[in-house]
Amino acid sequence: MLQPPRRARRPFPWHIVVFLAPAVLIYTAVMIYPILASLWLSLQTQVEGGAERFAGLANYRRLLGSELYAQPLWNAVRNNLVFFAIHMLVQNPVGLLLAVLLSFRLRGAALYRTLLFTPTVLSVVIIGFAWKLILNPAWGVQRGLLEPLGLQALDQPWLGLPGSALPTLSLISVWQNIGIPMLLFLAALVRIPDELYEAARLDGAGGWRIFRSIQLPLILPTVGIVSVLTFVGNFNAFDLIYSVQGALAGPNFASDILGTLFYRTFFGYQLQSGDEYMGAAVAGVMLGIILTGLLLYLAAVQRRLTEVEL
């Protein structure tokens, strides 16, 4: 009886390993190792004599259970959620609106696109200092801009009031970063074939009907990506609030978010010394929140989008 011929085993693709190895090594050195080292530090503590010992989850229990750390932590988480919600409700819809307008190939669209993206490439320190100059109630230019328009009621110390400091900082961040979602949405919109627009117009569809039935469904994956980038960026935010309000994120910690809480906990502030182990625990909580959000997105949104595409 004749035996069926054996299939020749394909050689292992070593060339793929060679091409990927530099990127994997660099990514591991600058991303994976610092994250693992920070998590390991959060599980350590210091005993008398300066020696370190393994403490398990003691730092996390102290962070969530002690009066010194728990109240600032929940305040920072709450403020971070507000910071993220304002970006989702203002930055991304306005970015999408601007992208739709620019996709119509208006005259001067390249100039508008450049002007809208310019704040994104500026230094956060410059942005923070400029807005402090504008909004300062004593010597800022805010009053001079509002009085000719009859808007004296809006001449308020927006960065100095507990109820308005965080929304004001969020809107400054929106103004600076709105160019990123705008460009991502615009890149998705220009890939839509012109034949779809022409067919819709022949059927009598107006601008709103074209957006709702053609543009929005086809850019939903980009909407998901922009939402994830907004979530990760907001829960890693630090620089703008630090440059405007300092490490104390005033007034009375009204604009304190997880990034500034981590800075104060790790490095200390005023007369309170820093605690690197508790700071690493705050960083661990930030990582846990971001990973939870990403897993929820992958399970609830990305999976559904994949099913629709299939």
DSSP 197-214: HHHHHHTT--HHHHIIII
**pTM for the full model?**
0.87
For residue 97, is it within any domain?
Answer: yes
User: For residues 206 and 228, what is the distance between their CA atoms, to the nearest angstrom?
Assistant: 31
Candidates 192, 233, 184, 33; CA nearest to 104 is 192
CATH number for the domain including 133? 1.10.3720.10
Q: Which pLDDT value is given to residue 264?
A: 93
Q: Which domain holds residue 233?
A: 55-309
In a domain, 258, yes or no: yes
- Taking the alpha carbons at both ends of the chain, their separation in whole angstroms is 45
pLDDT at 304 over 80: no
Calculate ∠ Cα 211-216-222, nearest 5°: 145
Asked if the structure places residue 273 within a domain, the reply is: yes
The pLDDT assigned to 155 comes to 86
In a domain, 43, yes or no: no
Do 55 and 45 form a contact (C-beta atoms < 8 A)?
Answer: yes
The amino acid that residue 83 corresponds to is: F
pLDDT at 4: 66
> What was the pLDDT predicted at 107?
81
Total count of domains within the chain = 1
Q: What mean pLDDT is predicted for residues 31-50? A: 91
Please give the mean pLDDT across all residues of the chain: 89
Q: 17 lies in a domain?
A: no
Instruction: Say if 42 falls within a structural domain.
Output: no
Q: Which two tokens stand for residue 128?
A: 């923070």
Kindly report, residue by residue over 235-245, the tens digit of the pLDDT. 999 999 999 99
Task: Assess if residue 268 is contained within a domain.
Answer: yes
Query: Dihedral angle at the C-alpha atoms of 49, 53, 56, 57, nearest 10 degrees?
Result: 30
Q: Prior bond to 251 cis, omega within 30?
A: yes
pLDDT given at position 139: 78
On whether residue 256 sits in a domain, the answer given is yes
Hey, what amino acid is at 260? T
